[in-house]
Amino acid sequence: MTKKRTIQKENHERPCLVISRDKAKSCVLKQIEKAATVLNESVNENDDARHWYDFTKELLRQIFSTDELSDEFIEKGVPSIGGADITTGRFLKTLKSIYNRLELYQETVSNEGKDIMVKTKEDYLECTPVAGQL
Protein backbone atom coordinates (compact mmCIF):
# COMPACT_ATOMS: atom_id res chain seq x y z
CA MET A 1 0.00 0.00 0.00
CA THR A 2 2.88 2.38 0.72
CA LYS A 3 4.25 1.74 -2.74
CA LYS A 4 0.94 2.85 -4.30
CA ARG A 5 1.07 6.19 -2.46
CA THR A 6 4.61 6.78 -3.68
CA ILE A 7 3.58 6.12 -7.28
CA GLN A 8 0.61 8.51 -6.94
CA LYS A 9 2.85 11.24 -5.56
CA GLU A 10 5.35 10.81 -8.39
CA ASN A 11 2.58 11.20 -10.99
CA HIS A 12 1.03 14.24 -9.29
CA GLU A 13 2.39 17.50 -10.66
CA ARG A 14 3.07 19.91 -7.84
CA PRO A 15 2.12 23.54 -8.43
CA CYS A 16 4.94 25.99 -9.15
CA LEU A 17 4.90 29.75 -9.44
CA VAL A 18 5.03 30.92 -13.06
CA ILE A 19 5.75 34.52 -12.03
CA SER A 20 8.29 35.70 -9.48
CA ARG A 21 7.51 34.95 -5.85
CA ASP A 22 7.66 38.68 -5.04
CA LYS A 23 5.13 39.51 -7.76
CA ALA A 24 2.88 36.64 -6.66
CA LYS A 25 3.01 37.86 -3.06
CA SER A 26 2.18 41.38 -4.18
CA CYS A 27 -0.79 40.25 -6.27
CA VAL A 28 -2.24 37.95 -3.62
CA LEU A 29 -1.73 40.55 -0.88
CA LYS A 30 -3.63 43.12 -2.97
CA GLN A 31 -6.52 40.69 -3.25
CA ILE A 32 -6.45 40.15 0.52
CA GLU A 33 -6.59 43.90 1.03
CA LYS A 34 -9.31 44.27 -1.62
CA ALA A 35 -11.46 41.78 0.28
CA ALA A 36 -11.92 44.35 3.05
CA THR A 37 -14.24 46.30 0.72
CA VAL A 38 -16.60 43.32 0.42
CA LEU A 39 -15.87 41.47 3.65
CA ASN A 40 -18.52 38.90 4.59
CA GLU A 41 -20.64 39.65 1.53
CA SER A 42 -22.24 36.76 -0.34
CA VAL A 43 -20.55 36.03 -3.64
CA ASN A 44 -23.98 35.08 -5.02
CA GLU A 45 -25.79 38.22 -3.90
CA ASN A 46 -23.22 41.02 -4.15
CA ASP A 47 -21.74 41.93 -7.54
CA ASP A 48 -18.55 43.40 -6.06
CA ALA A 49 -18.02 40.28 -3.96
CA ARG A 50 -18.56 38.12 -7.06
CA HIS A 51 -16.02 40.17 -9.03
CA TRP A 52 -13.50 39.79 -6.19
CA TYR A 53 -14.11 36.03 -6.05
CA ASP A 54 -13.92 35.52 -9.82
CA PHE A 55 -10.81 37.67 -10.17
CA THR A 56 -9.04 35.91 -7.29
CA LYS A 57 -9.89 32.47 -8.69
CA GLU A 58 -8.46 33.43 -12.09
CA LEU A 59 -5.41 35.12 -10.55
CA LEU A 60 -4.53 31.89 -8.73
CA ARG A 61 -5.00 29.90 -11.94
CA GLN A 62 -2.59 32.14 -13.78
CA ILE A 63 0.18 32.54 -11.21
CA PHE A 64 0.53 28.79 -10.60
CA SER A 65 1.43 26.02 -13.05
CA THR A 66 -1.58 23.91 -12.03
CA ASP A 67 -5.14 24.65 -10.90
CA GLU A 68 -4.54 23.05 -7.50
CA LEU A 69 -4.54 26.31 -5.52
CA SER A 70 -7.38 27.83 -7.49
CA ASP A 71 -9.36 24.66 -6.79
CA GLU A 72 -8.43 24.91 -3.10
CA PHE A 73 -9.63 28.53 -3.07
CA ILE A 74 -13.04 27.64 -4.55
CA GLU A 75 -13.14 24.42 -2.51
CA LYS A 76 -13.59 22.29 -5.62
CA GLY A 77 -14.42 18.73 -4.70
CA VAL A 78 -15.56 19.64 -1.17
CA PRO A 79 -19.16 18.56 -0.64
CA SER A 80 -21.49 21.48 0.00
CA ILE A 81 -23.95 21.10 2.82
CA GLY A 82 -27.14 23.18 2.80
CA GLY A 83 -26.60 26.67 4.16
CA ALA A 84 -22.87 26.60 3.43
CA ASP A 85 -21.04 29.88 3.96
CA ILE A 86 -20.40 31.50 0.57
CA THR A 87 -19.15 34.84 1.83
CA THR A 88 -15.90 36.53 0.96
CA GLY A 89 -14.80 36.02 4.57
CA ARG A 90 -14.75 32.27 4.05
CA PHE A 91 -12.73 32.51 0.84
CA LEU A 92 -10.45 35.12 2.40
CA LYS A 93 -9.34 32.61 5.04
CA THR A 94 -8.23 30.25 2.29
CA LEU A 95 -6.51 33.04 0.36
CA LYS A 96 -4.55 34.06 3.48
CA SER A 97 -3.46 30.46 3.93
CA ILE A 98 -2.25 30.34 0.31
CA TYR A 99 -0.41 33.63 0.80
CA ASN A 100 1.34 32.27 3.90
CA ARG A 101 2.53 29.24 1.91
CA LEU A 102 3.92 31.09 -1.14
CA GLU A 103 7.47 30.58 0.13
CA LEU A 104 7.01 26.83 -0.26
CA TYR A 105 6.41 26.85 -4.01
CA GLN A 106 9.20 26.66 -6.54
CA GLU A 107 9.46 29.46 -9.10
CA THR A 108 9.49 28.38 -12.73
CA VAL A 109 9.58 31.80 -14.35
CA SER A 110 10.95 31.64 -17.88
CA ASN A 111 14.30 33.29 -18.50
CA GLU A 112 12.58 36.51 -19.60
CA GLY A 113 9.38 36.08 -17.60
CA LYS A 114 7.26 35.96 -20.76
CA ASP A 115 5.12 32.94 -19.91
CA ILE A 116 2.76 35.11 -17.88
CA MET A 117 2.92 38.86 -17.58
CA VAL A 118 1.23 40.89 -14.89
CA LYS A 119 0.28 44.40 -15.90
CA THR A 120 -1.36 47.33 -14.18
CA LYS A 121 -5.13 47.57 -14.42
CA GLU A 122 -6.45 50.72 -12.80
CA ASP A 123 -10.16 49.94 -13.01
CA TYR A 124 -10.03 46.98 -10.64
CA LEU A 125 -6.67 45.86 -9.30
CA GLU A 126 -3.02 46.42 -10.03
CA CYS A 127 -2.39 42.73 -10.68
CA THR A 128 -4.26 41.50 -13.71
CA PRO A 129 -2.70 38.38 -15.18
CA VAL A 130 -2.79 38.18 -18.96
CA ALA A 131 -1.39 35.66 -21.38
CA GLY A 132 2.10 36.75 -22.37
CA GLN A 133 3.38 36.99 -25.88
CA LEU A 134 6.15 34.53 -26.59
Specify the pLDDT at position 35.
Answer: 96
Specify the pLDDT at position 9.
Answer: 47
The model's pLDDT over 26-69, given as tens digits with 9 standing for 90+, comes to: 999 999 999 999 999 999 999 999 999 999 999 999 999 999 99
The model's pLDDT over 62-113, given as tens digits with 9 standing for 90+, comes to: 999 999 999 999 987 555 555 566 899 999 999 999 999 999 999 986 545 4
Cα–Cα–Cα angle for 97, 59, 132, nearest 5°?
140
Specify the pLDDT at position 109.
Answer: 67
pTM exceeding 0.85:
no
pLDDT category of residue 25 using cuts at 50, 70 and 90: very high
